[in-house]
């Protein structure tokens, strides 16, 4: 069984993964433009959800280019 704690990332880890500043990622999450879940004062980002979101964004951009 996989360790699920490795599948959920903090805002620092997710910002590095997406190559965004923490403030940009925080604003996108607050505005509902990127999937995340607030736990208390802290954002958490499930890796599978972010990867799916990135894939959907890439598909949308590909469709816009054609």
CATH of domain 4-65: 1.10.10
> Which of residues 18 and 2 earns the better pLDDT score?
18
pLDDT digits (tens, 9 = 90+) for 7-63: 999 999 999 999 999 999 999 999 999 999 999 999 999 999 999 999 998 888 887
Domain boundaries, the chain: 4-65
What is this structure's pTM?
Answer: 0.73
Quick one: tokens of 5? 């704690």
The CA distance from 46 to 20, in Å, is 17
Helices (H), 1-66: 11-18, 22-30, 47-65
Q: According to the model, what pLDDT value does residue 5 have?
A: 55
- pLDDT given at position 61: 82
């Amino acid at each position: 069984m996989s360790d699920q704690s490795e599948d959920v990332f903090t805002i620092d880890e997710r910002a590095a993964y997406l190559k965004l500043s923490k403030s940009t990622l925080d604003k996108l999450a607050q505005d509902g433009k990127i999937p995340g879940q607030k736990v208390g004062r802290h954002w958490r980002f499930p890796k599978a959800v972010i990867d799916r979101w990135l894939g959907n964004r890439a598909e949308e951009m590909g469709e816009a280019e054609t």
